[in-house]
Amino acid sequence: MPEFLRKLNFADQEPYLSHRFGVFFFMGGALPNPIDLRFQRVSGLSTEVQLETVNEGGENLHAHRLPSKITYNNLVLERGYIIGSPLNIEFNATFSSFKFSPSNVLVTKFSESGIPIGGWLFMKAYPVKWSMSDLDAHSNSVAVDTMELAYTRFQILRV
């Protein structure tokens, strides 16, 4: 069977590995930030439909569960501590002078050959939390910045 036909057969596809991804910040327009794209971990890629329970008069066997709204977790990004990035400047402006500059963030999933195969576009993301790993004189580990972003909504992208 030709390779392209085998890829169309979903039953034969191998799952993609999770370690090939990039994070792209579109700050102040359409051009991505070329510095802040390498992260060691991205988490918070989830959404949930909140349900409202409605009881019907005279019906005691069940209640109706109706969708009421969609909620999102914060997008959490982790990377080694670096100096002088535009993202660090934005986080500093937020936490030192309470200035927010929402931007769109694209998390892209790559195949083993480096071709984009899907992603998640987070709209109007802004900083809500920053933390750094412990500084320990007895350890020889990388200092890690953890950055959390809230956003209005996200769109799942599949290629």
Q: Rounded to 5 degrees, what angle do the CA atoms 67, 75, 78 make?
A: 155
Is the separation of the CB atoms in 60 and 76 below 8 Å?
no
Condensed to tens digits (0 to 9), the pLDDT of residues 86-115 reads: 888 888 889 999 988 898 999 999 888 888
Condensed to tens digits (0 to 9), the pLDDT of residues 37-95 reads: 788 999 999 999 999 999 988 888 889 999 999 999 999 999 988 887 888 888 888 99
Residue 29: name the closest of 86, 74, 82 by CA.
Answer: 86
CATH number assigned to the domain covering 17-158 = 2.30.110.20
Give the residue extent of every domain in the chain: 17-158
